[in-house]
Amino acid sequence: MLSRMVVKFPAGPWELDWADTYKAGLQKLCEGNYGVCLLDYRLDDGQDGLQLLKMARAAGNQTPTIFLTAETDPALDEQALQAGAMDFLVKAEFTPRMLARSVRYAIKLGDTLEQLRLLATRDPLTGLRNRREFERLLADEWQRCARFQRPFALVVADIDFFKKVNDTHGHAAGDAVLKHVASLLTGQLRTVDHLARVGGEEFAIIMVETAAKDAQETIQRLLVLLAESPCALPDSAESVSVTISAGIAMMPEDADTTNALFEAADKALYTAKRTGRNRVVMATGAKHAVKP
């Protein structure tokens, strides 16, 4: 029935994919790039769509979802919305036109919510995560690593002489440098790592399941690459050389709280600045600054 309806939706063509088990449905929803999910309430083995949607949301999936069910209980409607559904349709009552309208509504609302999520979690200039989102990710990673006894590295980095760039070339040049550094770091880090802009010219990186030696070597490579990659200035033939200084702290060796870990990395960064810049310093050996 749905396959006959979907192909007639306006603004198509639309394709209908499906899964007939809870496990397959959850996997497809989390791995696929779908415009909308039409989710049945009653699933196999006594499981239901509410559970599936909650698990998908917990895994970070934000696909707009419409509940389809034979149930008419208003309480279920409310539960579906609380779980993250965009709409709730009773099978015996909806028509092709009603379903098409619900799909359009779900997509529009999903786009709006995604824009709000970006505003809440992303730095508007660089597109990186902002400080609030970074602190949430740091707390999550701390809990995960404490549970499974796996280390991670926290890097705090700062652009050297950034004020001089602004004073000499203007704030548009400063913005270009920030985006240049953000782009280079993004391109060189692993997809599992978390990069954020946490201050004016300050960046932070969570390097997941990384030993101290590997973290140090990675940041040294980034310092070399950045120093060899001048930033082109907007509306100018000029370019400026850009370097960064960095401090690294390890969990669990260097701190017993997330705040203490950030402070340890920040102190190592200060040592890198004080001892000449364009270098990386480990919190556990802050007196040993390593130049690229």
Q: Tell me if 177 sits within 8 A of 222, measured CB to CB.
A: no
Q: Tell me if 14 sits within 8 A of 7, measured CB to CB.
A: yes
The residue annotated as part of the active site, out of 201, 202, 217, 238, is 201
Contacts of 232 (CB under 8 A, 6+ apart): 176, 180, 238, 239
Residue 209 bears catalytic tag: no
65 phi, psi to nearest 5 deg: -125, 135
What span, in angstroms and rounded, lies between the C-alpha atoms of 289 and 282?
8
Can you spell out the DSSP letters for 227-277?
HTSPEEPTTSS-EE---EEEEEEEETTS-SSHHHHHHHHHHHHHHHHHTTS
Catalytic residue annotation: 201
